[in-house]
Amino acid sequence: MMEEVKVIEIKKSVFAENEKDADALRKELKNKGVYLLNLMSSPGSGKTTTLIRTISLLKDKLRIAVMEADIDSNVDAVRIKEATGIQSIQLHTGGMCHLDAEMTRQGLDNLDLSDIDLVVLENVGNLVCPAEFDTGSCRNAMILSVPEGDDKPLKYPLMFSVCDVVVVNKTDVLPYFDFDLEKCRANVRMRNPQARVIPICAKTGEGVDVFADWLLEDVKNWKQNK
Amino acid sequence: MMEEVKVIEIKKSVFAENEKDADALRKELKNKGVYLLNLMSSPGSGKTTTLIRTISLLKDKLRIAVMEADIDSNVDAVRIKEATGIQSIQLHTGGMCHLDAEMTRQGLDNLDLSDIDLVVLENVGNLVCPAEFDTGSCRNAMILSVPEGDDKPLKYPLMFSVCDVVVVNKTDVLPYFDFDLEKCRANVRMRNPQARVIPICAKTGEGVDVFADWLLEDVKNWKQNK
């Protein structure tokens, strides 16, 4: 199984002006009709499990591909491919803590985009650096898991301010942690009044339909505004 | 309460050669008899709760001070001070995802080290960048919490290879997560055969004495080898 997944060794970007490059990539994707979602979070917050659940709900409605970014290992890309059967590749960042637009482009170049509506980029698990680099995505989303605590928007302001959606994962363990969902909503609002907060449990699937519906709607709207 | 804690806005380091600078800081600390522990982890893994428990066990045996590094907020330094009464300051990294030796020095300059045996630096919550920068510490330790998963050594190799101790926190929620302690030990060993793995539950205090005993012993040995 391990050989079935393509592993791309990403080279460090040579473009100094990442913002311009990100805007250019966004335009190219618009022309191709490919919506790119940049999904960020801490390590171990459940990005891959959430993605598998979401893809299962959407794969009859949208043509989806996934790029899994990690410093090392290909476990995530293999998991996605085995669970959903969709196009899934692993990007190795060569020790880098984030992806910028050029690095994202290197990943996209290794996907067959001819019949794809939605590409999800699972960014490196990190609440700091990925927030600082525009990947060229149409939309940024993040996952905050219950065990991490409801105070994270206080400590990692930029991440919360650049995300349109904050998925709160692992709600099944709410009884075992001091995590106040209302306090979390208030903390998110402080950093980003427009951000939508969606509580889910990727393990059981609870609430994932709300996230999937939002994503489906957003992809459709984005395609219509072409 | 909020005014009682000193908040230091750290300036970006101007030293290009961090390794040399870190070695110099380590020597200075040796001369002063101050042991510096660099504590790293993902966001929300329980660094501050673990520290409070550890300090409570050690504060009659060692004179301890703490530096809490975060991009923003001073909640951690306030928590430490309120819970333990020891010297505790907050370092703001100005958006930086890690601390290097010069930034660590700026923090140390704001502590009264005249009667201190042990300074704990709680680094920015991040499994990537802090591992790349030697802070000048005598020892690196990290916390991996059960909800993050036992596969983290596969994805964040450098962090695990630079740490002498891996504290596995939140063992109280082992029944609710797919986390295999033996698999975790094997994954850590793969990255760092010398690393010690210490399972604890900072919430209940279980196992924290093992970590505290290791730290006490290590500080004593280090002082004797002066």
Report the distance separating Cα B139 and Cα B224, nearest Å. Answer: 16
Residue-range domains of chain A with CATH:
20-219 (3.40.50.300)
Report the distance separating Cα A67 and Cα A70, nearest Å. Answer: 10
Report the distance separating Cα A73 and Cα A54, nearest Å. Answer: 23
Under an 8 A CB cutoff, do A155 and B73 touch? yes
Under an 8 A CB cutoff, do A97 and B97 touch? yes
List chain A residues with CB under 8 Å of B160. Answer: none
Q: Which residues contact B45 (CB under 8 A, 6 or more apart)?
A: A148, B125, B143, B144, B145, B148, B169, B170
List chain B residues with CB under 8 Å of A173. Answer: 147, 173, 176-177
Q: What angle do CA A158, B148, B134 make, to 5 degrees?
A: 65
Q: Which residues contact A75 (CB under 8 A, 6 or more apart)?
A: B151, B154, B155
Q: What is the DSSP string of A21-49?
A: HHHHHHHHHHHHT-EEEEEEESTTSSHHH
Neighbour-count burial for A64-98, b at 16+ CB within 10 Å, e otherwise: bbbbbbbbbbbbbbbbbbebbebbbbbbbbeebbb
pLDDT by 10s per residue, chain A, length 226 = 444 677 777 666 555 689 999 999 999 999 999 999 999 999 999 999 999 999 999 999 999 999 999 888 888 999 999 999 999 999 988 778 889 999 999 999 999 999 999 999 999 999 999 999 999 999 999 999 999 999 999 989 999 999 999 999 999 999 999 999 999 999 999 999 999 999 999 999 999 999 999 999 999 999 998 6
B217 close contact with A: CB closer than 8 A = no
A172 close contact with B: CB closer than 8 A = yes
Report the distance separating Cα A15 and Cα A17, nearest Å. Answer: 6
- Global pTM reads 0.88
Is the ipTM higher than 0.95? The answer is: no
Instruction: Return the residue in B2, B41, B42 with the most chain A beta carbons within 10 A, the one to mutate for interface testing.
Output: B42
A43 close contact with B: CB closer than 8 A = yes
